[in-house]
Chain A
């Protein structure tokens, strides 16, 4: 099989993932996009493994590792999202800005300085 097909698919998958991570607001969708990127890499690993005819099948083994680690990572990520949701009743990534520098909030920011402690969702 030609190497180009899986690579193009992987590139498309990765691009979709990047777009999701950068543009989606919902934290779960961001996590899903991360998964897409990981799987694009997995696809590359498997494709190159086959293409290179690696006797030890290092690419496939690494893929398995990646899947396991991705599962663990997504579990952790979902747990964090769950906690965030319990605390704030929303999981919009671009509104979780507790760690910003003071004074760089968007225009309708409340009083700078105290804003870091208030619940952004409640203020808006």
Chain B
């Protein structure tokens, strides 16, 4: 059991290693060598993950296995894995999405000269995420967490020839790194406090720790979660990460990276439950993120950026679910979101490949000649907006019900915060429906606005999309097995009303003139929404500008102070040495005269004084 779990992690890792080692040379014996090397191990890992998940489903309970302990002198680090229901499910989801992305990438990245390194990085990314999912030790989890960070950097900057892409990669790396500092500190606080880094041990001892320790650790962990899961105030990297190839966006947004943050909160949920302050902070940040990102998504011109902001918003829905105690619902939403967001990005990749543009204004009328993409995207957007009976509806509904329950009956977090979360969730439902409707209508309906030929994307691209449409549509029904995930009429009806409100408004605006962008009704607020409320600009003004000014001061001090000191010392020494250089006039006879005079003086000295 644990051995096969380890294999699930090691297979993609080995694929990545081999990919880096052999690279494009693989394509000589076999034309699709790198592609096979990328896909086959992930496929095998997916099968193994399914086996593991099945075994956990048959006989529930956590299974742990420790390879060895690393003595550190303080708290030992365990190299061990832990599989429970949560890990098994998320691991399976990661493997499936990664497989779909790898297959899709074969066609999407065909002709890319660096395909083999790209595929290897995707494999490494997958392996790192699986390590996070299955890790039985906090520091082992952190290893996967950091490897993911660096992989995201390389993959977002895959087309580094364009300066904007490499800047986006650096931004993603730095912003997530900012959160990771807090995350590492949180792990250390938690681990040192509990006397062990093993997740089981830590969670078992949360009750005995002082409140201050748990709250500090939870808040520090939240910094890392906000960074990785792109929550306010560290969300700015995610929309810019759209610079990467579209399959990477799918991978980052659906299965890896952003899912890791929410997963970690779910994994360490008992620690967060013991720190209601941290949960309140999480809930409030989630409300800001979900409403703000949904408003921003409403005004984006770029299809991928619409999806990116929707990811921020949906992750905030999960975070809100965790904050109000609906952890099962949040994890359920993580799974369905993984399915439908991967579907949406891959379908968007099909649209972009066909249209040759990211911009919504260049699309229109794509539904006739791209039926597979159209229906897949329709399912995906329906799931995103939460239209019954698509998967997103059931999972989002579970979260909303949890929030409603906490708001009405009280829970871990203060009532006011719970009410804010609940109302924020409802507003998000309406906004999500509106922007999903807008993207759907502008892409597939109306008159074609571009001059390109509309045809279906290559089969290697459209089929993974179609395959992902199935879980995106029906994954929700698996939730009906759990009592806390079943929808109830009252809460579901309120959600539906908001859904119809948002979607209907977007449709009515669009219907007035299908050739125009429905976002025009936002009026003067539109630029603010499109720039995501100028958060980037605020950071540039509040953080980047002062640091640059400080750096300029430091440079000036360096040149005028420290450098001048060193240069001045050298110059002074040269000047002092000037008189000593005068005798060195190049005439050997002068030297010899000096030598002789010296000998005479020494001899005379010896004779006279000794």
Whether, in the assembled complex, B606 has its beta carbon less than 8 Å from a beta carbon of chain A, the answer is no
Across the interface, A100 reaches (CB within 8 A) one of B587, B592, B596, namely B587
The answer to whether B587 touches A101 (Cβ under 8 A) is no
The answer to whether B589 touches A22 (Cβ under 8 A) is yes
Whether, in the assembled complex, A23 has its beta carbon less than 8 Å from a beta carbon of chain B, the answer is yes
- On chain A, the residues within 8 Å of B586 by CB distance are 96-101, 104-105
The answer to whether B592 touches A21 (Cβ under 8 A) is yes
The answer to whether A97 touches B585 (Cβ under 8 A) is yes
Interface size on B, residues (CB 8 A): 12
Determine the distance from Cα of A101 to Cα of B596 in the docked complex, in whole angstroms.
Answer: 21
The answer to whether A22 touches B592 (Cβ under 8 A) is yes
Across the interface, A93 reaches (CB within 8 A) one of B583, B584, B585, B589, namely B589
Whether, in the assembled complex, B581 has its beta carbon less than 8 Å from a beta carbon of chain A, the answer is yes
Q: Mark B580-610, 1 if CB is under 8 A from A, else 0.
A: 0111111111001100100000000000000
Determine the distance from Cα of A105 to Cα of B585 in the docked complex, in whole angstroms.
Answer: 6
A71 to chain B, nearest CB (A): 22
Determine the distance from Cα of A93 to Cα of B589 in the docked complex, in whole angstroms.
Answer: 8
Across the interface, A101 reaches (CB within 8 A) one of B581, B589, B593, namely B581
Chain B residue with the shortest CB-CB distance to A18: B596
A95 to chain B, nearest CB (A): 9
Whether, in the assembled complex, A94 has its beta carbon less than 8 Å from a beta carbon of chain B, the answer is yes
- On chain A, the residues within 8 Å of B588 by CB distance are 93, 96
B76 to chain A, nearest CB (A): 66
The answer to whether A97 touches B587 (Cβ under 8 A) is yes
Determine the distance from Cα of A103 to Cα of B579 in the docked complex, in whole angstroms.
Answer: 11
- On chain B, the residues within 8 Å of A94 by CB distance are 587, 589
**Central interface residue in B582, B584, B593, by most chain A CB within 10 Å:** B584
- On chain B, the residues within 8 Å of A18 by CB distance are 596
The answer to whether A104 touches B589 (Cβ under 8 A) is no
Determine the distance from Cα of A105 to Cα of B583 in the docked complex, in whole angstroms.
Answer: 10
Chain B residue with the shortest CB-CB distance to A24: B589
Q: Mark B426-451, 1 if CB is under 8 A from A, else 0.
A: 00000000000000000000000000
A50 to chain B, nearest CB (A): 26
**Central interface residue in A93, A104, A106, by most chain B CB within 10 Å:** A104
Taking A23-B589, A98-B586, A104-B581 as known contacts, 12 extra A-B pairs with beta carbons closer than 8 A to each other, sorted by chain A number, are A22-B592, A22-B596, A94-B589, A96-B586, A97-B585, A97-B586, A97-B587, A100-B585, A100-B586, A100-B587, A101-B584, A104-B586
